[in-house]
Amino acid sequence: MMSTEDVVSTAQAPPPAHAADRSIVARICHEAWGATGFKIGFAVFVTLLLASLIYPEVSPLNPTKMSIPEKFIAPVLLGPHWSWLHPMGTDQLGRDVLLRSLIGLRYSLLIGVSTVVLMFAVGCVLGLISGFRGGLLDTAIMRLTDAQLSIPMVILAIAILGVSRPTVLSIVVVLGLSGWPLYARVARSAAQTERKKEFVRGARVLGASDWRIILLLVAPNVLPPIAFVAVLDIARMMIFEAILGFLGLGIQPPTPSFGSIIADGRKYLINAWWIATSPGFFLALTLVSINLMGAALERARNRVYGGER
């Protein structure tokens, strides 16, 4: 008798095209790295990430400590009163804008990446099961997906976070459970295509279970392309986090976040414009770098899969 491992390896062996898929991630990354846009985006993103991780730890300043005599200090060389200790100035309470912006960037990246990972995991698992198994289970999951898609993400987040004190974990869970349907639909469509292929039929004939086929044959072919597109969703989740912070439903003070800093700084746009524009600058720079990398990865994915066809 053949073991389950023998069944799966036998089912995988015949099609030469799927043998090449084992290195699909490396091939897409290699293609993307050849693009100038990806290199620029990657360099900017890594620089911002390292700055948000290192600068708050080595800075002698306290991001929450108020110093009224130092309020409204202008950025370096841009006003009559400036200080090298505060290169991007201070806010209405004398707190360093650069330090608070980088801490806000740290939390924004944490929430953005964690949310996309949760969305990807939940959506792809349900989508693979729905598309591969079909039948009543497929109908139930798709109806749940339709119901979830009918509720705008921001409205759902406001409704849930508005009745409790928001934390990093609650924001990630709310945004993640609001955005999984898109991944479920894409994964379902891909799984329906994969289950009709010869290597899946061969695995079934040899006795492999559906769960084994999904994990070892279907998922490796379906998930990498979706994962690369998911990079672009990090930017979208960072924007949602900033919106929630601006509305007072994000990370709560005294911890700084992009949205709360911009909300506080909008009152002083005429006399102290740097309070609101500094976190906006970091947010925009991060989003541009992520979009450059995501676009390059998507083009590389299309070239790799187009070449196989």
| Region of residue 77 (phi > 0: left; psi between -120 and 50: alpha; otherwise: beta) | left
Tell me the domain boundaries of the chain. Answer: 15-59+86-308
- Which parts of the chain register pLDDT below 70? 1-22, 306-309
Segment 40-44 long-range contacts (CB within 8 Å, at least 24 positions apart): 40/289, 40/292, 41/288, 41/289, 41/290, 41/291, 41/292, 41/293, 41/296, 42/289, 42/293, 44/285, 44/286, 44/288, 44/289, 44/292
pLDDT digits (tens, 9 = 90+) for 56-99: 999 999 999 999 999 999 999 887 778 889 999 999 999 999 99
Specify the 3-state DSSP secondary structure of 74. strand
Half-sphere exposure of 200 (CA within 13 A, CB side): 19
Helix runs in 134-253, H state only: 135-149, 153-161, 168-194, 198-205, 210-213, 219-246
Specify the DSSP class assigned to residue 214: I
Specify the 3-state DSSP secondary structure of 82. strand
Start-to-end CA span in the chain (Å) = 36
Do 274 and 89 contact (CB within 8 A), yes or no? yes
Beta bridge pairs of residue 74: 82
What is the pLDDT, as a whole number, of residue 209?
A: 81
Radius of gyration of the chain (CA): 24
Specify the 3-state DSSP secondary structure of 98. helix
What is the pLDDT, as a whole number, of residue 237?
A: 94
| Domain 15-59+86-308, classified CATH 1.10.3720.10, yes or no | yes
Residue 74 — φ and ψ, nearest 5°?
Answer: -80, 160
d(Cα 226, Cα 100) in Å, to the nearest integer?
34
Q: For residue 56, count other CB atoms closer than 10 A to its CB.
A: 18
What is the pLDDT, as a whole number, of residue 307?
A: 58
Residue 63 is inside which H or E element, if any? none
pLDDT digits (tens, 9 = 90+) for 26-65: 888 888 898 999 999 999 999 999 999 999 999 999 999 9
